[in-house]
Amino acid sequence: MANIAVVLSGCGVFDGAEIHESVLTLLALEENHADYQCFAPDMDQYHVLNHMTGEEMNETRNVMVEASRISRGNIQPITQLDAKDFDGLIFPGGFGAAKNLCNFAIKGSECEVQADVLAAAKTFVVANKPIGFICIAPAMIPLIYGETAKLTIGTDQETAAAINAMGGEHISCPVDEFIVDETKKVVSTPAYMLAGNVLEAASGIRKLVAKVLELS
């Protein structure tokens, strides 16, 4: 039975992990009879947003504490994540992936991946184990894999151009499909970069999870 690590970036689409994408990922893993463990950085979020109004709130929240809402409390700090303990890794999306796991939402093509996130992901690259990236999370791929990694965030031309400027090779992709770089064992799917509802998001996520398990 495969054992997959899932890295969450908080709780809530605008400042953390996209909840639907995260839960759909966990559901797809269970549907494929795979075990999983959730991880998150033990750090403050970039900011906290009111999800009804979009306005910034004058408070501070911890990424791992917020992510534990999705994982029902079963979560570990990303500093404990190492590829030797898992068969693959998946990053659900949400703006937290682009604000907390990296700063793509703020710096675009000049962004950096948070140090602990990068170190954990690199253990999977070195071990030649697959990683799946959902929604905006693929923006981290060029910084983790280096230049020429094939990936998708869907069809948004501005975001694709920024990723290509970072050295990635963006490929347009519909919501119900995925892109795989077989050589690097990296898989990506647009999900809510394109999805209009939960069902559409689920279609690509299920395929991504199946491909990560196939490569593991």
CATH of domain 3-215: 3.40.50.880
**Any idea which residues carry the catalytic annotation?**
135
Torsion of CA 193, 205, 212, 98, to 10 degrees: 30
Q: pLDDT truncated to tens, each residue of the chain (216 aa)?
A: 899 999 999 999 999 999 999 999 999 999 999 999 999 999 999 999 999 999 999 999 999 999 999 999 999 999 999 999 999 999 999 999 999 999 999 999 999 999 999 999 999 999 999 999 999 999 999 999 998 999 999 999 999 999 999 999 999 999 999 999 999 999 999 999 999 999 999 999 999 999 999 999
Can you give the pTM of this predicted structure?
0.98
Q: Where are the domains of the chain?
A: 3-215
The string of DSSP codes covering 88-144 is EEEE--SHHHHHTSB-HHHHGGG--B-HHHHHHHHHHHHTT--EEEETTGGGGHHHH
